Amino acid sequence: MENFKVKLDRPKISSEEIASRQNFDNVLSTFNQAKPPAYKNPWFWGSAGLATVGVTTILTLNAFTLKNETDDKKITLKTNALPEDTKCIKAPVAGEDIAFKTYEVNPLKDEKIVLESGTTIEIDKGTLQAEKPNEKVEIKVREFHDQASVFISGIPMDYQKDAFESAGMIEIKGEQDGEEVKINPEKPIDIELKTTQNPETFGFWFLNQDKKAWEEYPAETNNTAKAATPVSDKQVKQAEQKVQQAENKITAVEQQIARVETPKKEEYKIPGKNTQLFDLDFDKHDYPELSAFRNIVFEVVHPNGYDAEFAKNSKKNWSSVDLSKNQEKYTALFKNSTESYKVQVRPVVQGSDLKKAEKEFDQALASAQKTKTELENKKQELLAEKKASQQALNALIQQQIAAQDLQSRNRYNQLAEASEENYKKSSNADMAAVQDYSNSVSFQTTRWGVFNSDKPIAYPEPFKIGVALLWVGNQAAKFKQLFVFNKDKNTRFSYGEGFRNIDLLGLQKNDDLVLVGIDFEGNIGYCEIKKDDPVKSTEKITFTRKDKSTKTLDLLKSLMDGTTDTV
């Protein structure tokens, strides 16, 4: 027996397909124009008709029970996550930490704080919402430009599966009488953070200490080293055009994405789940023009999926049923001598036709998803292009400003702008230090915390075989935490206690490294490994115990400077 697949108003249908398959609307039109006598009406349903003619239309209700299924419990696998009861910032070495520098400011005045590096913190009048507005507020600041200080502070430097390379970091708090002072959301604090590297190649982040995770944070980069190169208005205009061109391309792709139509099962006559269905039973010899109906089931269309009225009326006897179409909607009108009942329906297929329809639907869905994915990928590429163009534009504008009036800016100018009180706190050494930082990141904040100019760096591949960790003298070293400092990339890789398992230890072969381990008794061991050191490809690493009289910060700084002998 030939299988028919009925498609309603499908575009791009071939002439061969039209010839080989009957169209449901044509069948319906023919049926409505030339209805057979009542005694041969395939829509006739009643005991007399059934007994006399043997031609029946059976209204069959598929009684599905609609269920509200509970969602499965979701399990989130955490990686590199600190335990719930662990503080986000916790100094790893007992008795050692990086102290905050405290600056007193008047909440009723515009204030500017200048740090040793040249980093500036500007606080406008009314920014600090202190409980005692007539009393001073303490601004506590820690600024980090080296790995040793960041390590001692306990600030985590892992981002998802990577480690951060930092170009500069600042932690800032505001307190009055030991209580945190709120920041007016309408008047944010302005901070220009000096960086040790060009910030244009770095991102900018805020440490969410509640979630124990870094979050991207908006900031503007300032590369004043470019100030010596003049920038013309023509260059700026061309850069603006590139940004606009990228924006236009993004808009065009978004329009293409909006035009991608996701196929619907209704278009392929595929029935929904838990819906009410009925079909027709007729003699195909008496009604050959209705042969296309033989694999068609009608689905009741109802906004809630289940039509209680249909369930009730399906149990009644009806003398006739009329099927009509208005635009894209089909309506079945049931009648008998005393009443009538109308319900919206749509034709669906079953049997082999259903399998074919489901296959075609899956193919169309996969094709639409593929097209949409390709367009989404294109959009991401364009967004990256726009971001790069915008950064280039911002850099040119900064160069223009710097060439015009910022070339002569130095520490003395900044100190002149600062309050007299903060001026007295600065030293001549501070004035010279500003020359070491030609780049900066500008941002605004209405919350206290840690802000960082960072770039994610992938962890090195773990050793293929286990590596023995030893103390000098070949005694096994059992560390609860192990840290690998990459001196070339200003990056720290952390293992153990909430980070990667120590068994996943790996070393970058082409960089100078410093390893620091903390065992379960609090003893600290260290090891310095040079580029292409054979230890990177061997099975053991030997650590020297830190002398208890030596501060870990001093040891690390000496190791980072290369003044400690290699072990």
* pLDDT at site 4: 34
pTM of the model: 0.50
Label residue 438 by pLDDT band (50, 70, 90): low
Mind listing the pLDDT tens digit for each residue in 158-191?
988 899 998 999 999 999 999 999 999 999 999 9
CA atoms within 13 A on the CB side of 520: 3
Label residue 530 by pLDDT band (50, 70, 90): confident
Measured between alpha carbons, how far is residue 9 from residues 13, 20, 139, 329 in Å? 9, 16, 71, 12
Please give the structure tokens belonging to residue 196: 């040790």
The mean pLDDT of 448-464, rounded to a whole number, is 91
Task: Evaluate if residue 72 carries a pLDDT over 60.
Answer: no
Mind listing the pLDDT tens digit for each residue in 80-91?
444 455 678 888
Task: Evaluate if residue 533 carries a pLDDT over 80.
Answer: no
Task: Evaluate if residue 101 carries a pLDDT over 90.
Answer: yes
Please give the structure tokens belonging to residue 338: 């005393």
Q: What is the DSSP string of 251-302?
A: HHHHHHHHH-PPP-GGGGT---TT--EEE----TTT-GGGGGGGGEEEEE--
Q: 418 burial class (0-12, 13-18, 19+ CB within 10 angstroms)?
A: buried
Mind listing the pLDDT tens digit for each residue in 102-116?
999 999 999 999 888
User: In the chain, which segments carry CATH 2.60.40?
Assistant: 459-560
Percent of the chain's residues with pLDDT above 70: 71
Q: 503 burial class (0-12, 13-18, 19+ CB within 10 angstroms)?
A: exposed
Please give the structure tokens belonging to residue 355: 């399998």
Measured between alpha carbons, how far is residue 95 from residues 82, 152, 473 in Å? 21, 10, 28
- Residues 143, 149, 150, 153, Cα dihedral to 10°: -90
CA atoms within 13 A on the CB side of 513: 23
- The phi, psi pair for 517, rounded to 5°, reads -120, 145
Q: How far apart are CA 470 and CA 545, in angstroms?
A: 10
Mind listing the pLDDT tens digit for each residue in 383-431?
988 888 888 887 777 666 656 544 444 444 444 444 444 444 443 334 3
Q: Which of 224-233, 273-282, 330-339 has the lowest mean pLDDT?
A: 224-233
Q: Are 174 and 100 spatial neighbours (Cβ–Cβ below 8 Å)? A: no
Label residue 437 by pLDDT band (50, 70, 90): low
What is the C-alpha R_g of the chain?
37
Place of tokens 């009225």: 309
Short-list 508, 505, 513, CA closest to 482: 505
* pLDDT at site 138: 96
Task: Evaluate if residue 78 carries a pLDDT over 50.
Answer: no
CA atoms within 13 A on the CB side of 31: 24
* pLDDT at site 182: 96
Partnered with residue 326 across adjacent β-strands are 329
Average pLDDT, the chain: 77
The amino acid present at 105, given as its one-letter code, is V
Mind listing the pLDDT tens digit for each residue in 40-60?
444 433 322 222 222 334 443
Mind listing the pLDDT tens digit for each residue in 58-68?
443 343 333 33
* pLDDT at site 467: 83
Please give the structure tokens belonging to residue 400: 């223009």
Q: How far apart are CA 174 and CA 317, in angstroms?
A: 81
Question: Domain spanning 459-560: which CATH class is it, in words?
Answer: mainly beta
* pLDDT at site 2: 38
- Strand, helix or coil for residue 228: helix
Neighbouring C-beta atoms of residue 432, cutoff 10 Å: 10
Q: How far apart are CA 166 and CA 149, in angstroms?
A: 12
Q: Are 412 and 434 spatial neighbours (Cβ–Cβ below 8 Å)? A: no
Neighbouring C-beta atoms of residue 16, cutoff 10 Å: 8
Q: How far apart are CA 138 and CA 330, in angstroms?
A: 74
Select the more confidently predicted residue: 562 or 302.
302
Q: What is the DSSP string of 464-494?
A: SS--EEEETTTEE--EEEEEEEETTTTEEEE
Measured between alpha carbons, how far is residue 92 from residues 99, 166, 172, 543 in Å? 15, 19, 20, 18
Task: Evaluate if residue 448 carries a pLDDT over 90.
Answer: yes
Select the more confidently predicted residue: 423 or 370.
370
Mind listing the pLDDT tens digit for each residue in 500-524?
889 889 888 888 899 999 999 999 9
- Strand, helix or coil for residue 247: helix
Short-list 566, 563, 561, 498, CA closest to 535: 566
Short-list 280, 315, 357, 286, CA closest to 43: 280
Give the angle 80-85-86 at the CA atoms, nearest 5°.
55
Q: How far apart are CA 450 and CA 171, in angstroms?
A: 4
* pLDDT at site 294: 63
CA atoms 147, 153, 159, 161: torsion sign: positive
Label residue 282 by pLDDT band (50, 70, 90): low
